[in-house]
Structure 1
Amino acid sequence: MQLLKPLRRLSDAVNQVAIVACVACVLIMLGISFTAFLYKLATGSTLSWTYSLARLFLPWIGFLSMTISLRYGEHVAMTLLVRSLPRALITVAAGLCLGVIALFALMLVWYGWGYFQGATQVYMVSDQIQIPAKFTAIVIPISGVIILLHLVQGFDLLEHFIDDDSLIEGLIDANDLEERS
């Protein structure tokens, strides 16, 4: 249990880095697109490389946002079905869910690393801009490692153990305290 506390802090720190990286990728994509827009307004012609360069950031956004949503329990879950089970089976179902997530993460690392190593092509964005495919391929095993790291959060990743009534009452109480202030 002593080991879990620093690993959970590391998981939270890595999640913050992933959020910053996703925001940076979106801003870079917007910057590239805005540059293309301004260039088209100013000259009437288009820059051929802007679309190709901007889309290279999509895998980063997709895979990193997957790890972020997992950390906050916003992934696909069959919560209604699981909550209809007896309490003991909820724990079993949650354990199985975490096991499937771990298997998926291991597959991302294993097959993603092979994909990364085999990515020898170069994206020809333009004559001057050439991006190795490894730039986009590396995000696959990285996201698998992040998911594995997030698993130290345990059942906190799942919604199965949230009591809706107590959550709603807590929100109402917090709202009442704000109104009294």
Structure 2
Amino acid sequence: MRFLKPLRRLSDWVNQAAIVLCVACVLVMLGISFTAFTYKLITGSSLSWTYSLARLFLPWIGFLSMTISLRYGEHVAMTLLVRALPRALLKLAAALCLGVIALFGALLLWYGWGYFESARQVYMVSDQIQVSAKFTAVVLPLSGAIILLHLVQGFALLEHFIDDESVIEGLIDADNGEKRS
């Protein structure tokens, strides 16, 4: 299991990069929207390309956010039901959950790559701005690969194994430490 430690660090690094990329996409979308708003306010007419260009970032935000939420255990889970299970069944349910996540990541990678390769169309944002569909299609296999990479975190991805009491105590201790400084 010595090889898991560098893979977990890589998973953490990729997660941080995904967070930065998501924030950048949101900021670009806001910048485009603010540009459209300011232009309309000043001139009274609107820019035709702003909406079309801004929405090209939505798949990036959606799919990368999915990988980020998976890494922090914020995905859909039946925590109450699963925590009611005996410990042996809990581990079996967690393993099955990780298996389903792995299958989803693999399918996203496999079919997403095919979709990316076949993406030939060009989005005509305006007469001057043309964006290849590959720009939005590449996020599918990329997010599948990130999901598969995050699986090296194991049961830490699943909310069922988080001890609520220790999390609450950790938050209280962190809050007390901030008040002292």
Per-residue deviation, residues 38-85 of structure 1 (Å, max 9, x unmatched)? 110111000000000000000000000000000001110111010000
- Tell me the residue number matched to 1:23: 23
Equivalent residue letter for 1:73: G
- Tell me the residue number matched to 1:44: 44
Aligned length: 181
SS in 2 for 1:109: helix
- Tell me the residue number matched to 1:157: 157
Moved more, 161-170 or 69-78: 161-170
CA distance in 2, matches of 1:169, 1:16: 26
- Tell me the residue number matched to 2:74: 74
Structure 1 segments unaligned to the other structure (5+ residues): none
TM-score normalised by the chain length of structure 1:
0.95
CA distance in 2, matches of 1:178, 1:45: 50
**Aligned-residue CA RMSD in angstroms?**
1.5
TM-score normalised by the chain length of structure 2:
0.95
Per-residue deviation, residues 84-127 of structure 1 (Å, max 9, x unmatched)? 00001100000000000000000100110111111111000000
CA distance in 2, matches of 1:60, 1:172: 35
Equivalent residue letter for 1:140: L
% same residue: 81
Quickly say closer, same or farther: Cα 1:86–1:129, change in 2 above 3 A: same
- Tell me the residue number matched to 1:91: 91
The aligned runs of 1:98-177 (5 Å cut-off) are: 98-172=98-172, 175=175
CA distance in 1, matches of 2:89, 2:107: 27
CA distance in 2, matches of 1:173, 1:41: 49
